[in-house]
């Protein structure tokens, strides 16, 4: 099984990916809901990190450092660094504080110095605020943001014609790597008889709010 399909199956099994009726921040009625915060035990977090590491390595992206934006990115960047090291790719990592520390070592960045090509890790991209702040921090340190890696790309339009992921690609000219996307979710629903009941609703939602494939 492709690792993307394995990830969808894993997320469903952990009740991180649910089906039903859910109201999004944009006020849309979505037939599915993804909450990465529910990967909340050691085994689940370890497996999640392995999926991220696979997605990063398969993408072929070159980076010198990993950065996790506070708060969700903090545990993510640490466990992803461990998973990559176990796979033979040892990278330094850092994360930021929400408020700069004025004592001790000071500053807002914790961990390795931001240098070279820096890959941002996060759970999802909604409004792109976290990515924008991360890009500013990385550039302020004299490093270069080289991409973003997330768990799920909903491939859903924002206020305009583009999705949040597409806006990040356009605004910063960097790639966004997703462990899985809405395409992968639909493939999972199509191939699993116990979940095909949700396929029509998800496909209908995509027709109404989704962005074009390959955009």
* Each residue's pLDDT tens digit, 63-109: 999 999 998 999 999 999 999 999 999 999 999 987 765 544 546 89
Asked if 103 is an active-site residue, the reply is: yes
Structural domain contains residue 214: no
Q: Has residue 169 been placed in a domain? A: yes
Nearest to 186 by CA among 195, 194, 177, 178: 195
Residue bearing the bigger pLDDT, 105 or 140: 140
Residues in the chain, how many? 215
Place of tokens 């961990």: 111
Q: Output the domain CATH number for residue 85.
A: 3.40.50.2020
Closest CA to 28 of 211, 210, 214: 210
Residue 25 annotated as part of some ligand binding site: yes
- Report if residue 117 sits inside a domain: yes
Q: Which residue is catalytic, options 103, 105, 160, 173?
A: 103
Tell me the β-bridge partners of 178: 150
Degrees (nearest 5) of the Cα angle 40, 46, 50?
130
Answer yes or no: is 19 within a domain.
yes
Asked if the structure places residue 203 within a domain, the reply is yes
Q: The whole model's pTM is what?
A: 0.93
The verdict on whether residue 14 carries a ligand-binding annotation is no
Per-residue confidence (pLDDT) for residue 100, from 0 to 100: 60
Q: Region of 111 please: left (phi>0), alpha (psi -120 to 50) or beta.
A: left
What are the Cα distances from residue 86, in Å, to 46, 83, 91? 11, 5, 11
The predicted-structure confidence for 4-45, as pLDDT tens digits, reads as follows 999 999 999 999 999 999 998 888 999 999 999 999 999 999
103 is in an annotated binding site: yes
To the nearest whole percent, how much of the chain has pLDDT over 70? 94
Sign of CA dihedral 49, 53, 54, 59: positive
- Strand ranges in the chain using DSSP code E only, listed in sequence order: 17-23, 29-34, 65-68, 93-101, 107-111, 117-121, 144-153, 176-181
DSSP 72: T
Q: Higher-confidence residue: 9 or 126?
A: 9
Q: How far apart are CA 48 and CA 180, in angstroms?
A: 12
The whole-number pLDDT of residue 12 equals 97
pLDDT of residue 103: 46
Domain that holds residue 86: 3-209
- Is 125 annotated for ligand binding? yes
pLDDT, mean over the chain: 92
According to DSSP, the residues that pair with 176 across neighbouring strands are: 148
Count helices and strands in the chain by DSSP H and E runs: 7, 8
Report residue 17 CA to chain centroid gap: 14
Catalytic residue among 62, 86, 89, 101: 101
pLDDT tens for each residue of 142-172: 999 999 999 999 999 987 889 989 999 999 9
Query: How many domains is the chain built from?
Result: 1
94 in any annotated domain? yes
The reply, when asked if residue 34 is annotated as ligand binding, is: yes
Does residue 214 register a pLDDT over 80?
no
What pLDDT score was predicted for residue 102? 54
- Out of 17-31, 91-105, 111-125, 191-205, which region has the weakest mean confidence (pLDDT)? 91-105
Find the largest Cα–Cα distance for the chain.
58
Residue 126 within a domain: yes
Taking 70 as the threshold, does the pLDDT of residue 130 lie above it? yes
Asked if residue 81 is part of any domain, the answer here is yes
What pLDDT, on the 0 to 100 scale, is given for residue 215? 46
Confidence check: pLDDT of 110 > 80? yes
110 φ, ψ to 5°?
Answer: -115, 140
Backbone angles phi, psi at 167, to 5 degrees: -65, -40
Is 101 known to be catalytic?
Answer: yes
């Amino acid at each position: 099984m492709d690792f993307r399909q394995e990830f969808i199956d894993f997320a469903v099994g952990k009740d991180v990916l649910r089906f039903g009726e859910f109201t999004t921040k944009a006020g849309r009625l979505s037939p599915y809901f993804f909450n990465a915060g529910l990967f909340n035990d050691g085994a689940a977090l370890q497996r999640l990190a392995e999926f991220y590491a696979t997605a990063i390595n398969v993408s072929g992206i070159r980076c010198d450092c990993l950065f996790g934006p506070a708060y969700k990115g903090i545990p993510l960047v640490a466990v992803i660094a461990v998973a990559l090291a176990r796979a033979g790719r040892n990278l330094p990592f850092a994360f930021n504080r929400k408020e700069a520390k004025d004592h001790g070592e000071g500053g807002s960045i914790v961990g390795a110095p931001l240098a070279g090509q820096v890959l941002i890790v996060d759970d999802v991209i909604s409004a792109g605020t976290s990515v924008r702040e991360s890009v500013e921090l990385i550039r302020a340190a004299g490093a270069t943001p080289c991409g973003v890696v997330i768990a799920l790309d909903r491939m859903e339009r924002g206020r305009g014609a583009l999705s949040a992921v597409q806006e990040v690609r356009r605004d910063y000219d960097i790639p966004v790597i997703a462990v899985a996307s809405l395409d992968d979710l639909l493939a999972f629903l199509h191939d699993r008889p116990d979940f095909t009941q949700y396929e029509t609703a998800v496909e209908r939602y995509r027709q109404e709010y989704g962005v074009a494939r390959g955009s």
